[in-house]
């Protein structure tokens, strides 16, 4: 086995990727699979699970190492049941990717619909972090598994993005809870880290960044690019390296509570 394989290979590991059929979840699932892990994709609809599994079949040697399940990550009962089924029908997971999240719309604060606010907060913070972290944390502690969690933070975790109140609130909390849960879980050998993607075109942010009729960037899309020293949106494949790195106990075994920006320099932009 080469030095690189020993350091970054994930053979013998099993990951659950919650939100694994999303744009970023799919890339993270593929990266883990290519690095040798077994991967269980969780997504909200059977159709999206099937679509993601079709893509994973293209990965050489993925036979028997990838499966999927329909789960609402916002339901504690469903997540508990899905974890039990994953353990009994696949393998006990030791990696959790919290890939559920996204944004809906952009509003002035005084025009914010509060039902929508709670929906976005729930999707990103409750489904996107709290419930899976609680359920996996309890399972790993009980079974003495030194697991690893990767959350999805955002540029909004560091500086607010305009008009996306619930998303800002949820993502700043995601950074905070990444640190807090890393601290609480450290005594069990469970690591908690995050990846903070800059701007990548996902299902839910696409409408904000690209005009659906013309395909041109919106004013906000152009503003993002102007604020990104690399002068472009990210290519989702550029998240693969950070995923494998953080998931590897050999490479990142003493790293916990950090959020790695993969952002083309967005956070260091100045004038």
Ligand X SMILES: NC(=O)c1ccc[n+]([C@@H]2O[C@H](COP(=O)([O-])OP(=O)(O)OC[C@H]3O[C@@H](n4cnc5c(N)ncnc54)[C@H](O)[C@@H]3O)[C@@H](O)[C@H]2O)c1
Residues that bind ligand X (CB under 6 A): 19, 21-25, 43-44, 48, 71-74, 99-102, 123-124, 127-128, 152, 154, 197, 199-200, 202-205
Integer Cα distance of 27 and 40 in angstroms: 13
Q: Smallest gap, in angstroms, from Cβ of residue 218 to ligand X?
A: 14
Q: Is 167 a catalytic residue?
A: yes
Q: Quick one: DSSP state of residue 124?
A: I
| Between 9 and 166, CB nearer to ligand X | 166
| Between 9 and 263, CB nearer to ligand X | 263
Integer Cα distance of 173 and 249 in angstroms: 25
| Between 34 and 119, CB nearer to ligand X | 119
Q: Which of 3, 107, 158, 167 is catalytic?
A: 167
Q: Which two tokens stand for residue 190?
A: 């469970």
Alpha helices in the chain (DSSP H): 3-8, 23-34, 46-57, 76-89, 114-121, 131-142, 165-185, 206-209, 219-227, 240-247, 249-252
Q: Smallest gap, in angstroms, from Cβ of residue 85 to ligand X?
A: 15
Percent of the chain that is helix, strand, coil (3-state, to 5): 50, 15, 35
* Nearest partner of 170 among 262, 110, 100, judged by Cα: 100
| Between 199 and 245, CB nearer to ligand X | 199
Q: Smallest gap, in angstroms, from Cβ of residue 112 to ligand X?
A: 18
Q: Smallest gap, in angstroms, from Cβ of residue 191 to ligand X?
A: 19
For residue 200, the tally of other CB atoms under 10 A from its CB is 20
Which residues are known to be catalytic?
Answer: 167
């Amino acid at each position: 086995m080469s030095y690189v394989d020993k350091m970054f290979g994930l053979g013998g590991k099993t990951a659950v990727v919650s939100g694994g059929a999303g744009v970023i979840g799919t890339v993270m699932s593929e990266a883990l699979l290519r690095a040798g892990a077994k991967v269980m994709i969780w997504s909200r609809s059977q159709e999206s699970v099937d679509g993601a599994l079709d893509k994973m079949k293209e990965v050489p040697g993925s036979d028997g190492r990838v499966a999927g399940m329909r789960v609402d990550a916002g339901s504690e009962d469903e997540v508990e049941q899905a974890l039990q089924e994953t353990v009994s029908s696949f393998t006990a997971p030791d990696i959790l990717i919290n890939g559920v999240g996204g944004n809906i719309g952009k509003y002035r604060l005084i025009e914010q619909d509060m039902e929508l606010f709670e929906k976005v907060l729930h999707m990103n913070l409750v489904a996107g972090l709290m419930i899976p972290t609680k359920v996996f944390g309890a399972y790993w502690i009980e079974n003495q598994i030194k697991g690893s969690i990767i959350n999805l933070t955002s540029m909004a975790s560091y500086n607010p993005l305009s008009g996306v109140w619930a998303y800002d609130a949820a993502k700043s909390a995601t950074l905070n809870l990444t640190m807090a849960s890393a601290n609480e879980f450290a005594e069990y050998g469970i690591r908690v880290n995050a990846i903070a993607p800059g701007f990548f075109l996902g299902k839910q942010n696409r409408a904000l960044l690209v005009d659906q009729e013309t395909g041109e960037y919106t004013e906000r899309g152009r503003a993002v690019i102007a604020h990104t020293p690399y002068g472009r949106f990210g290519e989702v494949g550029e998240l693969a390296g950070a995923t494998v790195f953080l998931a590897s106990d050999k490479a990142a075994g003493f790293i916990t509570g950090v959020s790695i920006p993969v952002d083309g320099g967005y956070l260091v932009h100045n004038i």
